[in-house]
């Protein structure tokens, strides 16, 4: 969703805000704006653009506002189209109070009506604009008090950064169900939606808790609840570095991130899997006794993370023989799920901020379940609100479409499966030895897939002209078919569906003809013969077939298919190398079609609204 950055410090604010907005653009990119309090503190420069951050930057470079306090915003529109007027920051009738916001003010219509009746003049269609007017109305010389009073009137979700000409040394942040962090530098402070925005400037991050506010002055930040009770600040040291959040010579972040897949698997396994197959997690929090008591597992997630969760079901049920249910978080949260203290709920989320998934784990905890989140972002809301966390250690992911974090989620789910299986004595020593050795070789297999990128690119060039695609997989590769289809559709805007191969004949096969290619995952598996029959059925309908096959496999010999070879690994571990091939295919098709791969239309990296 929207990206927020605020700066107060000794350096000129504008270049820092511009640079941070570029880093935040993956959160939303339909319009952008900044407000900088000028040196004299009597005037605020507001510059906005109805398109991407680059246009805003061009405008700022023509006439760069100078000042040491400012805020910037990149928008993913909810209320009101992406126009200059609707772009943030928003202000009050006096033009002195500046507000940027991520989230939704649900009662904005009634607040606006009341404010208008009292004479306030609104210019935008946004929900956010009520906030500066409410602050204006409550201001009696104390900006923090006015903000507190304004926030008390809001229903909904928000992360905000606020400043006013009334107090040139004060930057305020507040959050309720939307992420916000404070970066602490040398005589400078940053308020940001996430740490990616501020890693070039500082690694010291103050975590703002749910329902808290921060007032930053040259004396430093002070945290309090929205009601005004002082809160002890939680400060962490972030390990990500700047290079990880740069393209490093690649045309797109997505290409770079797919190419990091091998390293990603190594990082997810590092220090957690001994040669004997013992698994240890740093912040896991559950004891062996608690793990033994688990009767069932429920996994909640959204989008790509939901497909990772589906894979988790195959992995955990196979290894640990505990029943696992997987549900989109958006459904789970409103369904009165049947869970109790013997249920383990796993929240799967790259960002740790997805509104539905966060709400789902909150509901699970309320019902007494133990919750473990598997996420990439240290200090994210889900990490803070779970009993334990498994971090992906994947480094920042900037491309809007998840790639390396999907791979990292699967790697972590193998580890978790082993951990639960070991406690329950469900995994025979021989299988554990083999699996451990094979997992440690997985980065090599992924590296091999990445080496075959030119062949995948060539094939993608041929297939980029089609409008429709069907992906089919079986068993543990069924979720990979779903993910392959999602990756293609979200970045290339082509229609793609994923199916369990055995299901094709129950309806979707009616779609197939020579203009509707099928991508079949036909790597070594116990159901490979069935998959070969499914491919025959597809070919009999004249549909072109691309098939992922294990290196050296002869199963498709004599059939007219475009085969892509991937290294031969066990069926159980094949999802990781297979998905990397599918990610590359989707990437090359989208790039061939000239799509904006890193920032697909209508999407945002972190979905903090329902
Ligand atoms: C697709 C994609 C999304 C996310 C989904 C959940 O490539 O990235 O489908 O997977 O929005 O996000 P997280 O994992 O942050 O909860």
The answer to the question of residue 526 being in a domain is yes
| Statement to judge: residues 232 and 298 lie in one domain | no
Same domain flag for 218 and 271: no
Residues with CB under 6 A from ligand 1: 302-305, 349-351, 354, 357, 401-402, 490, 606-607
Residue 188 CA to ligand 1 centre (angstroms): 33
Nearest-atom index, ligand 1, CA of 375? 14
**Residue 465 and residue 483 share a domain:** yes
Tell whether 303 and 432 lie within a shared domain. Answer: yes
pTM of the model: 0.87
Residue 610 domain-assigned? no
- Of 2, 48, 96, 370, catalytic: 2
Give the distance (Å) from ligand 1 centre to CA of residue 196. 17
Domain boundary among 210, 238, 266: 238
Quote the tokens at residue 2.
Answer: 């929207």
Instruction: Report the Cα 547 to chain-centroid distance in Å.
Output: 29
Buried b (16+ CB within 10 A) or exposed e, 269-299: beebbeeebebebeebebeeebbeebebbbb
Whether 146 and 292 share a structural domain: no
Q: Is 600 within a domain?
A: no
In this structure, are residues 215 and 45 in contact, taking their beta carbons and an 8 Å threshold? no
pLDDT band at 99 (very low <50, low <70, confident <90, very high): very high
Q: Residues 6 or more apart from 495 whose CB is under 8 A from it?
A: 467, 468, 469, 489
Please tell me the distance from the alpha carbon of residue 182 to that of residue 379, in angstroms, as a whole number. Answer: 12
Q: Find the CATH number of the domain harbouring 371.
A: 3.40.50.10490
313 assigned to some structural domain = yes
Same domain assignment for residues 141 and 234: yes
Q: How far is residue 224 CA from its own chain's centroid?
A: 28
Same domain? 280 vs 233: no
The tens digit of pLDDT for each residue in 297-314 reads 999 999 999 999 999 999
For residues 472 and 420, state if they share a domain. Answer: no
In order of 411, 453, 466, 521, the CA distances from 587 in angstroms are 22, 10, 15, 18
Q: Do 325 and 292 belong to one domain?
A: yes
- Which tokens hold the place of 67? 């000042």
Same domain? 293 vs 421? yes
Q: How confident is the model at residue 605 (pLDDT cuts 50, 70, 90)?
A: confident
Pairing outcome for strands 388-391 and 370-375: parallel
Query: What residue numbers bound the domain in which 199 lies?
Result: 3-238
In this structure, the answer to whether residues 44 and 184 fall within a common structural domain is yes
530: annotated active-site residue = no
Are 382 and 480 members of one domain? no
Question: What pLDDT is recorded for position 96?
Answer: 96
Instruction: State mean pLDDT over 540-564.
Output: 96
278 inside domain: yes
Count CA atoms within 13 Å of residue 474 on its CB side. Answer: 21
Residue at 422 is within a domain: yes
605 is catalytic: yes
The residue to mutate among 194, 303, 391, having the most atoms of ligand 1 within 8 angstroms of its beta carbon, is 303
Instruction: Determine how β-strand 69-75 pairs with β-strand 31-37.
Output: antiparallel
Distance between CA atoms of 70 and 188, rounded to whole angstroms?
12
pLDDT in tens, 134-161: 999 999 999 999 999 999 999 999 999 9
- Ligand 1 center to 134 CA (angstroms): 34
Number of domains composing the chain: 3
Ligand 1 centroid to 299 CA: how many Å? Answer: 15
Q: Residue 387 to residues 98, 269, 313, 370: CA-CA distances in angstroms?
A: 37, 21, 21, 6
pLDDT of residue 154: 97
Q: What is the distance between the alpha carbons of residues 113 and 25, in angstroms, rounded to a whole number?
A: 32
CB contact at 8 A, 208 and 222: no
Domain end (from 190, 218, 238): 238
**Tens digits of residue pLDDT in 384-409:** 899 999 999 999 898 999 999 999 99
Nearest-atom number in ligand 1 for the CA of 302 is: 6
**221-280: per-residue pLDDT in tens?**
999 999 999 999 889 998 887 777 788 889 999 999 999 999 999 999 999 999 999 999
Longest CA pairwise span in the chain (Å): 82
Would you say residue 602 lies in a domain?
A: no
CATH number at residue 86: 3.60.20.10
- Report whether 165 contacts 96 (CB < 8 A): yes
184 beta partners: 189
Among 214, 238, 262, identify where a domain stops.
238
Residue 182 lies in a domain: yes
């Amino acid at each position: 969703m929207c990206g927020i950055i605020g700066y107060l410090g000794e350096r000129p604010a504008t270049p820092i805000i511009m640079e941070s907005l570029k880093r935040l653009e993956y959160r939303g990119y339909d319009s952008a704006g900044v407000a900088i309090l000028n040196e004299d503190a009597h005037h605020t420069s507001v510059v906005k653009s109805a398109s991407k951050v680059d246009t805003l930057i061009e405008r700022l470079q023509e006439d760069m506002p100078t000042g040491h306090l400012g805020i910037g915003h990149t928008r993913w529109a909810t209320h009101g189209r992406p126009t200059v007027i609707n772009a943030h920051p928003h202000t009050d009738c006096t033009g002195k109070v500046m507000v940027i916001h991520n989230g939704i003010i649900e009662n904005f219509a009634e607040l606006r009506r009341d404010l208008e009746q009292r004479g306030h003049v609104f210019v935008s269609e946004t929900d956010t604009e009520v906030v500066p007017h409410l602050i204006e109305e409550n201001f009696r010389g104390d900006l923090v008090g006015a903000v507190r009073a304004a926030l008390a009137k809001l229903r909904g979700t928000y992360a905000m950064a606020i400043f006013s000409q009334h107090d040139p040394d004060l930057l305020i942040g507040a959050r309720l169900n939307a992420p916000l962090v404070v970066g602490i530098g040398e005589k400078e402070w940053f308020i940001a939606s996430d740490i990616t925005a501020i890693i070039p400037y500082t690694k010291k991050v103050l975590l703002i808790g749910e329902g808290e506010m921060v007032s930053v002055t040259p004396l430093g930040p002070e945290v309090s609840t929205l009601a005004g009770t002082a809160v002890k600040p939680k400060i962490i040291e972030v390990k990500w570095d700047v290079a990880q959040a740069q393209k490093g010579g690649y045309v797109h972040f997505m290409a770079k991130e797919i190419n990091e897949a091998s390293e990603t698997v190594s990082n997810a396994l590092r220090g957690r899997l001994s040669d004997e197959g013992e698994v240890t997690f740093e912040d896991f929090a559950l004891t062996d006794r608690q793990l033994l008591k688990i009767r069932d597992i429920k996994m909640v997630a959204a989008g790509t993370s939901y497909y990772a969760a589906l894979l988790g079901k195959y992995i955990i049920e196979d290894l640990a023989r505990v029943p696992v249910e997987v549900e989109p978080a958006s459904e789970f949260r409103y369904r009165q799920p049947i869970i109790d203290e013997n249920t383990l709920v796993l929240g799967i989320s790259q960002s740790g901020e997805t509104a539905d998934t966060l709400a789902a784990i909150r509901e699970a905890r309320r019902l007494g379940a133990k919750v473990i989140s598997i996420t990439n972002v240290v200090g994210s809301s889900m990490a803070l609100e779970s009993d334990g966390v498994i971090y992906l250690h994947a480094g920042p992911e900037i491309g809007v479409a998840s790639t390396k974090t999907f791979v990292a989620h699967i790697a972590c789910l193998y580890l978790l499966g082993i951990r639960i299986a070991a406690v329950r004595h469900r995994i025979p020593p021989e299988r554990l030895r083999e699996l451990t050795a094979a997992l440690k070789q997985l980065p090599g297999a992924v590296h091999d897939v990445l080496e075959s990128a030119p062949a995948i690119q060539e094939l993608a060039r041929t297939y980029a002209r089609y409008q429709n695609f069907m992906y089919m997989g079986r068993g543990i590769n069924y979720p990979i078919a779903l993910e392959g289809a999602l990756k293609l559709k979200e970045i290339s805007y082509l229609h793609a569906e994923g199916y369990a191969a055995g299901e094709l004949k129950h309806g979707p096969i009616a779609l197939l003809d020579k203009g509707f290619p099928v991508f079949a995952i036909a790597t070594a598996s116990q159901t490979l013969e069935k998959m070969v029959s499914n491919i025959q059925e597809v070919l009999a309908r004249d549909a072109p077939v691309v098939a992922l096959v294990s290196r050296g496999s002869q199963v498709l010999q004599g059939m007219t298919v475009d085969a892509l070879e991937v290294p031969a690994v066990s069926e159980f571990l094949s999802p990781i190398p297979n998905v990397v091939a599918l990610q590359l295919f989707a990437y090359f098709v989208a790039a061939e079609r000239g799509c904006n791969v890193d920032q697909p239309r209508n999407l945002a990296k972190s979905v903090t609204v329902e």
